[in-house]
Amino acid sequence: MHREVEIGRTVLGRPIMAIHFEPPSYARPRPPAVLFGAIHGDEPLGAHCLARLCEDLLERPPGRDTWIIPALNPDGLAAGTKNNANDIDLDRNFAASNWVPEHRPGYRPGAAAESEPETQALSALIKRIGARRFVAVHSPYRLLAWEGRGRALAEAMAEHNGYEVKADRGYPTPGSFNSKYGRDGNLEVVTLEIPFLEEDEAWAQNRAGLRYAVDLPT
Ligand SMILES: [Zn+2]
């Protein structure tokens, strides 16, 4: 069973769509997983790979309750810009304890934590469904970075794609998704960074690992 759910609207009024897959009825209930891409609009490979994952899940459902958001920032994706239409870096806009009102040029965190409708939409969904596992898909590094309880998942995914595993992303990320749900929330958070590849190659490298993230018994 799957259904498309509009979880919110962007600054420019575009719908932010999630595809919700329910596991087969015989599967043991597990807390939902959320996988999202293109929080940065200039990183379209995440949106591509998650759209391909949805096609895959239509043929064979996941082993756990799964929500896929191919593009959290569809305004940025359409414009080819990293930030949203208010020129805010959504991955610095989350209400983490380390959120700061000023950050480096190009990483504007917003007037207040979770000031942006895209950030609000994702946070509201996570709260509503009680998600505990997260994969955020970015580019262009070749990396699996984990926060909170995400280490085992990152290492398992690395067995499939051969990417480097790190305990954090290697630079300060105040107000990031990882800070709120990994550092503060101590949930299972993995950032998958896909290098700039042809779409088919990116999917071929990451299909098994993304499948693993939604099939793993825990
Ligand atoms: Zn990114």
Is the predicted pLDDT of residue 106 greater than 90, yes or no?
Answer: no
pLDDT reported for residue 216? 65
Is the predicted pLDDT of residue 195 greater than 70, yes or no?
Answer: yes
- Rounded CA gap, 78 and 15, in Å? 13
% residues pLDDT > 90 (the chain): 86
88 C-alpha to ligand 1 centroid (Å): 13
Within the chain, where are the H helices? 44-59, 74-79, 117-129, 151-161, 177-178, 199-215
- Write out the two tokens for 193: 């960074």
218 C-alpha to ligand 1 centroid (Å): 28
- Write out the two tokens for 53: 């994952």
Is the predicted pLDDT of residue 26 greater than 80, yes or no?
Answer: no
27 C-alpha to ligand 1 centroid (Å): 33
Amino acid symbol at 210: L
Domain count across the chain: 1
Q: Residue 215 half-sphere exposure, CB side, CA atoms within 13 Å? A: 13
Closest Cα partner for 145 from 167, 173, 172?
A: 167
pLDDT, one tens digit per residue, over 117-132 is 999 999 999 999 999 9
Helix, coil or strand: residue 131: coil
pLDDT reported for residue 69? 98
Say which of 193, 198, 199, 201 is annotated catalytic. Answer: 193
- Rounded CA gap, 37 and 86, in Å? 19
Domain region containing 200:
2-215
Of 39-53, 85-99, 135-149, 156-170, the least confident: 156-170
Q: Tell me the sheet residues that pair with 67.
A: 20, 34
Q: pTM score, two decimals?
A: 0.96
- Rounded CA gap, 184 and 186, in Å? 6
- Write out the two tokens for 108: 């504007």
Residues 6+ apart with CB under 8 A from 186: 148, 149
**Cβ contact 69:118 at 8 Å:** no
Mean pLDDT of the chain: 94
Mean pLDDT of 208-218: 86
% residues pLDDT > 70 (the chain): 97
Is the predicted pLDDT of residue 17 greater than 80, yes or no?
Answer: yes
CATH of residue 25: 3.40.630.10
Please indicate whether residue 193 is annotated as part of the active site.
yes
Is the predicted pLDDT of residue 18 greater than 90, yes or no?
Answer: yes
2 C-alpha to ligand 1 centroid (Å): 27
